[in-house]
Structure 1
């Protein structure tokens, strides 16, 4: 009975930290757009009138109902700004000559980031499916707040298509502005790319752009300059940056305590039952039904009693995705594993300074062949590490991976993009802090963690109230009195939700990853089986890094060298002193170096990619893919 009371009390308080955050939908991987025509007309009052025609290819018997068009309505005004840019979408109209034009709209923040909001337009009829291979959709809408005026020179710079769209062919864009376009520019490629679009021209003041193909994972951005004085409201709509759910909770905790107390009793039950991993019922762990049977296969909740079989080879997923599936998060280990995997596959080479120590690691990366990076997030990582200019023209550029902060952006981008892949491909329902509990986290263990948070809050509350009493406002006293208990609750919620929630397919792949971890973590040197001449050290090293057992794997490989089963030579992707190479030293040095590189560097003046209302697309730091404002994508449902 005592445990039940403790669990109930914990549930009441946990409700304060219960926020629901929507996730952006992404395109099905086998979709494509046959053609896209976009016409942008800027009026004298600064409003942008948009007309779009999409020819969307669903494929034969797709079973889809229509498309979803997303439009960015809020984003940060520069990476470190305290302001957000707001775009208002009005007068939306949809038509289609060969499909349902019914539509609904919903505006919501992306997962975990209230500063980035999208308007999602869902087009189609839930009771009808698309029977033809393609369907045409025509949209029109108005945008206000889309212009900017760096150095008092108005311009319209817009991300026409973001990296979540499928492959888009035959893109045609026109931009018509008062007085005619004074300059025009269009770029398309991975974020940060400065590769020009297929064509850019200005005829009778109208700027026209074409792009033969914008692949999934890349961005298309176009811009025109406008004669000063011809357009009013040529500045962005800036508002104070959106506050996080934690900040909002602190402001409303006092008045919402009664409501959250009632709702909190249900929170822990819902969390424990509905956010457990799914699993295909009746199939052994790690088994994925065939593509034609997966949708109809029965699904049940995963259990702690499920026995995961040992797997003797790596699963067929990127190592970063495998790391995400394990614990719902991506950090220094997954970043290190991805870089080593790129080295093993020939995209780059690594070298460890002989003077390195674990406390003072020195690791250098040299760019070799960026085309070996086959995934969009891998290409983005190379851009973040070496810079867009070096990746577009391979020159053997070198980067010191031991420098603090050199991998911070790459690690953040890797986490963001791989998380979107897991969500978009239907492998996870939630990732990171918005995910569910692990399959092995029982309600009892959750209640214990929650009760620890409650006890800490009760112990700390008198101190916080004493501090609050120094303020004249009762509301301030109540607010400060809630801060410390809420911190404890947030920690508990993080422990519960950090592993995320996997779909049945995602759980099966996770089982495969777990099975391979069992093998690498338990197999001795005399149990390792591989073909003669195979570089087994390099093949499994990225996974050992992701699993946190790189030192163990290095020791096993050193034993294989001592047994004469592995050559005592450096792998081909290592370009340092071959005579100074050793499996154990490199594994330790590499990990410590890249962990140092992931740590943020001391605060300093910096510049980053993305929209900044004070930067021009035609000079300074502008002029790259993703450097415009707004934007959006398209997918199907």
Structure 2
């Protein structure tokens, strides 16, 4: 097969033109027609700008194309000639076929080297040759990935011309291999064109070569050739790469789904461990909480008052300790309750200062010697030092502007150390929580980085999301990682019993003569349990029944009465909480 129908028509027209023009030409020059006259003729050209390209492709037994192109520019060569190769073409909906073009070099007609530069633009490779003053250029290169076993044979498929920088009047492609071809085809024109090339044949009656011809190829036009050979005659196979897309990068397949599920077992294991740790508290609460659900008073005459009662909280736990034990954080409420507890116990007094009706209320804290039989805990001593380091008196409004905020950090640290010293926690809760939070953030960052890498390079990015989820789970679960010891769980259960008592108890549980003293001791714990309004009102009522003008630890202006106590103590607690909340150490714990 030498020509397709359209080629035959073109050849017929060319033959007619030759029949008309040949006598005059022969008469003038005495020349005879050459053997090439049988090839389709190009459009007439004056020869000054006529460019042709003869491409020779030698296909070796390993499926590698060794190419040599002879480009003739006519009498006026361009300053630069750009030859474009298609190195990435669609293979199917998700993959592309890759052609590797290597060993690019160029020489002119006399064998001198021509400077060559290359640049890649998406799926094309542009080869730029400096052709100024050169009427001919010979371009050499190799191509891998053009051969692939197809059906019962082997097929060479290659875009022999991916584009020119100028119109080329005639492009011929000859493919030579160790075995003769069995079939061939070609298309030419713009990308995805289905128009057959000008002509194609198998090199005459012997059919040992594959030859293709395309005339008048404009810039951005292509010539695509396909040659079939017998099976196993030539080696090599297509180079296929999966195209990147968000959908393909996060493809959910049986393999990726299985790996994702296995990776999620890690956070599930952490969750189960957390449930078991928290379960110890729950089991202890069921058996021990009743021990704290009673009036926390000792009526054995302790304290020197025969027949009297004395406040004794469960396990002798102080308010700040209770707050830290419950939520495993030394926070604003714990410090506020401790200040109130120190006042109730006689280590400082609170005086509400006179103020106009619409002005803000302020309080003055006065340091007191305190009872000799009331030993201070380490964090309580540090808190008193933080309050009164500069003077034995301090206004609440001035605390934020003094060194008090900076000194609170040590108070918090001592509270955490107290948890370990009392053997309620094996490790300091804040250190344990920070360690797990850091680990969780690290795992999350690692998961995000792994997701990005896998998304760019593979289709396994979905599996890395399990690492991100695991890191997030560890970060959130870090709040629950400080585990109480057996002893800590028992104290915690007693504390919850005490809380239940304070939420439901009434004044009648304590003899009238002891109510002011005992209910005053209840008040700091009520701050921890968010029940301060109720016990402030009960304490004010008990004080009024005793005909007392005030409390030994709290006093107000001249016009202040005990009936105002509930509102006053509520305002004091809120104001002190605000002062502490505005410090850097507690700003994140509001």
Q: Which has the larger radius of gyration?
A: 2
TM-score by length of 1: 0.38
Higher helix share: 2
Highest RCO, 1 vs 2 (Cα 8 Å, sep ≥ 6) = 1
